[in-house]
């Protein structure tokens, strides 16, 4: 079974979540359930969704987002704080497509060496909400991705150039 993700959420504790929108749900509304005080920034083919007020003491530094987004070619001088989501950029018609296979493959490759990131899948529920599958087997939902199920702080090995997307 192939499951199409619309976005990826990188949490400060190292948890990674692939999520999807409900039918006719705007991307902003879907991402807002994971990212407080939502702001957004285009990054070429991709778009970052993040908390707008980095001075908020409730937002923890997000070293996972620092590393992944830097490898995608987008560094934020102050570092990222709080949960950060990544989606595709809007197309010419103003629609945001699901993460394409090349982007998903690149994200999976960037996350794999981090070894400690917990990967979950957010799925549609009958009531229209999304939820996280705890430590259940999600191999049917996330294609070709395997990772340990414990969170650790990822290493900071940031290359000079972004991923080839």
Whether 37 and 56 have beta carbons less than 8 Å apart is answered as yes
Q: What integer best gives the mean pLDDT of the chain?
A: 73
Torsion on CA atoms 107, 117, 10, 81, rounded to nearest 10: -130
Can you give the pTM of this predicted structure? 0.71
**pLDDT tens-digit series, residues 57-89:** 889 999 999 999 998 888 888 889 999 999 999
- Mean pLDDT value across residues 2-26: 89
State the Cα–Cα distance between residues 128 and 118, nearest whole angstrom.
24
Scored b (16 or more CB within 10 A) or e, 122-152 reads bbeeeeeebebeeeeebeebbeebebeeebe
């Amino acid at each position: 079974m192939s499951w199409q993700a619309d976005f990826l959420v990188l949490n400060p504790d190292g948890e990674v979540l692939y999520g999807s929108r409900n039918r006719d749900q705007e991307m902003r509304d879907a991402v807002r359930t994971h990212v407080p005080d939502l702001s957004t920034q285009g990054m070429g083919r991709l778009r970052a969704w993040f908390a707008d007020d980095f001075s908020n003491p409730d937002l923890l530094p997000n070293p996972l987002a620092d590393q992944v987004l830097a490898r995608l070619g987008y560094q934020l001088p102050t570092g990222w704080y709080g949960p950060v989501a990544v989606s595709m950029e809007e197309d010419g018609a103003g629609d945001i497509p699901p993460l394409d296979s090349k982007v998903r493959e690149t994200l999976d490759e960037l996350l794999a060496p981090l070894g400690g990131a917990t990967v979950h899948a957010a799925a549609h529920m009958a009531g229209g909400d999304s939820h996280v599958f705890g430590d259940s087997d999600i191999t049917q939902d996330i294609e070709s991705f395997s990772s340990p199920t414990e969170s650790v702080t990822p290493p900071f090995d940031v290359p000079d150039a972004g991923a080839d997307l």
